[in-house]
């Protein structure tokens, strides 16, 4: 993990990533979103609504 710059930057933290790193982050976010969507479709046996 890279050190954060000590100066104020107008760029978001994402700008510190290389395109390859950003692609990996994006893929991880897509997978996480897909997993959560699947979990939302499965009824919770403990949900008493």
Mean per-residue pLDDT pooled into runs of 10, the chain (49 residues)? 60 73 94 88 72
8 A C-beta contact, residue 23 and residue 9: no
The pTM of this model reads 0.49
What is the domain range of residue 36?
17-41
33 part of a folded domain: yes
Number of domains in the chain: 1
Residue 36 lies in a domain: yes
Using CA atoms, how far apart are residues 47 and 49, in angstroms rounded to an integer?
6
């Amino acid at each position: 993990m890279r050190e954060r710059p000590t100066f104020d930057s107008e760029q978001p933290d994402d700008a510190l990533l290389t395109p390859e790193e950003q692609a990996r982050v994006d893929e991880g976010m897509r997978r996480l979103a897909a997993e959560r969507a699947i979990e939302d479709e499965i009824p919770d046996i403990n949900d008493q609504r």
